[in-house]
Amino acid sequence: MIVFVSGTEHTYANKALLDPTLPVRVALATYPELVPARAIPRATYVFTDMDRLSLAHLQVAAYLYRRLRRAGLRVLNDPARVATRFGLLRRLYLAGINGFNAYRVEERVRPERWPVFLRTEGTHLGPVTPLIHDWDLLQRSIDDCIAKGLPMAALLIVEFAGEPYRPGLYRKFSSFRMGSAGFAHTCVDDSEWIAKTGRSDITPPELYDEEQCVVRDDPYGPVVAPAFEIAGLEYGRADFSLIGGKVQIYEINSNPEIVFADDHPSAVRQQTYRIFREHYLDALAEIDTPGDTAPVPVA
């Protein structure tokens, strides 16, 4: 059995895995449920939502991780080793993987490149400002965000790194890591640089063919793999795009929503969904703890 552990409000991300017809048995749990438990089922535990936990709760989760490991259980994602969004972006820049940098507003550092935008730690809502092209406007935007109640400690300045994949079309790629396995996810195409949810009406047929090759062969996986090591994550999904043909990584989500969709106007995309599902379930089987799920003392 495999148990995905998340914050109370984010169990929805893995509900698709509760399907009893899947070849691997999956259960969901929350940190508040597991922390006081004195015994839990024998299983592989996947810790998620690290970026959404407060520092105090992150420390509690890290202690829980160690209790489970001492009990002989397999656990993915050590909360004590996971980088923040800012920490990951800064380290990717310093490692030469990304060509763009990020700064904490608290640093009061002038960006090296323009434009920039503001976003926050601990959320997945995307940028909180449009693109900002100069220092004075950046300061006013920071003041506006703080006036609205966004804590300065959570505000990040991120240098913009994006370019159209095709005229009028931005494409976001994604790659998963699960244990030792890496595999690609489907792409998101949008007319805006913030390619978050995407639009199905702007993708030409040949790009669905290209996407299927990406999901089948994961050509960018070897380039993205070091980012998971830098992030301290054994499970998650990295979102990235190509700038001048080079991978640029925007974030790694430790609790990506899993959707095994099969409905789409494009028959090619439908097949691509099935390829992703197969890869995900194969990787899930590799981290499974099979057999007896009898309770294991973890006090």
Whole-number pLDDT of residue 262: 79
Alpha-carbon distance of 154 to 171, in angstroms, equals 27
The rounded distance, in Å, linking the Cα atoms of 283 and 265 is: 28
Which CATH fold would you assign to the domain 2-82?
Rossmann fold (3.40.50)
Residue-wise burial string across 3-33, b where 16 or more C-beta atoms lie within 10 A, e elsewhere: bbbbbeebbebbebbeeeeeebbbbbbbbee
Parse the chain into domains and list their residue ranges.
Answer: 2-82, 101-159, 170-286
The average pLDDT across 215-236 equals 97
CATH code of 170-286, in short, is 3.30.470
Q: What is the pLDDT of residues 127-185, one digit of tens each?
A: 999 999 999 999 999 999 999 999 999 999 999 999 999 999 999 999 999 999 999 99
Are the C-beta atoms of 12 and 218 separated by less than 8 Å?
no
171-195 pLDDT tens trace:
999 999 999 999 999 999 999 888 8
CB 69 within 8 A of CB 45: no
Determine the pLDDT at residue 134.
97
The 10s digit of each residue's pLDDT in 88-100 is 999 999 999 999 9
Give the pLDDT of residue 298. 96
pLDDT at 123 over 90: no
pLDDT > 90? residue 205: yes
